[in-house]
Amino acid sequence: MIDAKTAPYAALLLRVALGIMFLAHSLYLKVMVFTVPGTVGFFESLGLPAAAAYLTIAAEILGGIALILGVQTRLIAVALLPVLLGATWVHAGNGWVFSAEGGGWEYPVFLAVAAAVQALLGDGAHAVKQPFSALGKAAAAR
C-alpha cells in the first residue's frame, strides 16, 4: 500500500539523489577528474564516437539539474536510461562489485532501475513541474 502522505517526499528524495548523482558523474568525474579530453579518449577507446562523450556529459549535466528542480521528471528519467544502460555495457565485463578494477555493473544497473522507478513515480513534492506547459496552454488559447 502506498502512503499518499509520504509518497511525494519519497519521489522528491529519489529525484534529488539521482540528480546529484548525475551531476557528480558529469561535472566532477568526467569534467574535473578525467577531464573532457580524457573522457572523449575513453569513449573512443570503447569504439564510440567522440560526440557520444560530449552528448553524455551534456545529458548528465542538464538531466541532473532538471531532476533536482523537478522539471519534466518522467521524461528526463526515461531520457537518461540510455546513459545508464550504456554505463552498464561499459562495466559489464568487470564483474559484480563496482569497487573492482574498472568498476562492476551493479551500480549502473541499480541507477537504471532507480531512474525507471522515478519515471513511474513522477515529480514528487517541491517540483517545478512543467514550466513550459503554461506557454503551451497560452499558445493554444490564441
- Tell me, what's the pLDDT at 142? 62
Mean pLDDT across the stretch 56-74? 97
Q: Which of the residue ranges 2-11, 13-22, 51-60, 130-139 would you say has the lowest mean pLDDT?
A: 130-139
Residue 135 has pLDDT above 60, yes or no: no
Mean pLDDT across the stretch 84-92? 94
The verdict on residue 109 lying in a domain is: yes
CB 4 within 8 A of CB 15: no
| φ, ψ of residue 129 in degrees (nearest 5) | 75, -120
Helix (H, G, I), strand (E, B) or coil at 51: helix
The verdict on residue 1 lying in a domain is: no
At 139, the pLDDT band (50, 70, 90 cuts) reads: low
Indicate the average pLDDT of the chain: 91
Whole-prediction pTM: 0.87
Mean pLDDT across the stretch 25-29? 95
Residue 134 has pLDDT above 60, yes or no: no
The verdict on residue 2 lying in a domain is: no
Whose cell is 572523449? That residue is 40
Tell me which residue range forms the domain holding 88: 7-141
Residue 113 has pLDDT above 60, yes or no: yes
Cell of 81: 536510461
- Tell me, what's the pLDDT at 97? 80
> What is the Cα–Cα distance from 103 to 93, expressed in whole angstroms?
9
> 34-55 pLDDT, tens per residue?
999 999 999 999 999 999 999 9
In sequence order, what are the residues at sequence separation of 6 or more whose Cβ sits closer than 8 angstroms to the Cβ of residue 130? 71, 72
The verdict on residue 120 lying in a domain is: yes
Domain count, the chain: 1
Strand (E) positions, the chain? Answer: none
At 141, the pLDDT band (50, 70, 90 cuts) reads: low
- Tell me, what's the pLDDT at 95? 79
The verdict on residue 17 lying in a domain is: yes
Maximal CA-CA distance, the chain? 59
- Tell me, what's the pLDDT at 36? 98
